[in-house]
Amino acid sequence: MSTIRGRYVFSVVALLAAIGLAGCDKGEQGWGEAPPREVDVLTVKTEPFTVIAELPGRIEPVRVAEVRARVAGIVLKRTFEEGADVKAGDLLFQIDPAPFKAALSRAQGELARAEAQLFQAQATVKRYEPLVKIDAVSKQDFDVAKAALQSAQADKRSAQASVETARLDLGYAEVRAPIAGRIGRAQVTEGALVGQGEATLLARIQQLDPVYA
């Protein structure tokens, strides 16, 4: 009887010990370190970013040129398209050049006459110089010859200026763009008389590159 009881006690103790060890194993597993958590990884990179600011304002051209007639005459033709871009020196209007060609020819004729008179006056003075020394020509006649020479020289300079003026007027009959830019509406039409007592406004050119804001 004692032997059976002893075996029973031993079995109970062994069972309790096994339960205790199992509990310890579970406790150690429960209090151990937690497994790592999964997280999302984002890669940061730089990119250009444009900042746009809208501000109220007014755009003005950097230069505005008024195209005006510099000589009087009849407009024969307009050679540009309104609102188009033009270059400096482009032909815009053609004023009738016939009167200016005639004026240039007349001025050139006056210059030729003045040059002939100057040549004659120079020859007279050159001929009188040795004669006045021997009293073959009076001093008064020699002085008159020298005065005629000076007058002929002045006439030549005046004739040269007239030729230059006539040549300029003929050039002004071709109205050209003073600057590059965008040309607006024509202020005159073909057949209009311009430059009569004033520098008639023909058109305006705006230089839009660059601009003021």
Angle between helices 139-172 and 98-133 (to 10 degrees): 160
Q: What is the CATH number of domain 61-96+174-213?
A: 2.40.50.100
Which of the 8 DSSP states describes residue 71?
A: S
Give the model's pLDDT for residue 25: 52
Domain ranges, ordered by start, for the chain: 61-96+174-213, 97-172
Enumerate helices (H) and strands (E) in the chain, giving the number of each.
Answer: 3, 8
Calpha distance 91→76 (Å, rounded): 13
How are beta strands 193-194 and 91-95 bridged, if at all?
Answer: unpaired
**Over the stretch 168-189, which tens digit does the pLDDT of each residue have?**
999 999 999 999 999 999 999 9
The predicted pLDDT at position 8 comes to 47
Give the pLDDT confidence score for residue 55 in this predicted structure: 59
pLDDT for res 62:
78
What is the pLDDT, as a whole number, of residue 2? 47
SS3 16: helix
pTM > 0.85: no
DSSP symbols for 131-185: HHHTTSS-HHHHHHHHHHHHHHHHHHHHHHHHHHHHHHHHHHTEEE-SS-EEE--
Residue 144's nearest CA partner among 121, 115, 120, 114 is 121
33-43 tens-digit pLDDT? 667 777 677 67
Give the pLDDT of residue 182.
96
Regions of the chain with pLDDT less than 70: 1-34, 39, 42, 49-60, 210-213
Which CATH superfamily hosts domain 97-172?
Helix hairpin bin (1.10.287.470)
Q: How far apart (Å, rounded) are the C-alpha atoms in residues 15 and 6?
A: 14
Per-residue model confidence (pLDDT) at position 169: 98
Residues 162, 111: contact at Cβ < 8 Å? yes
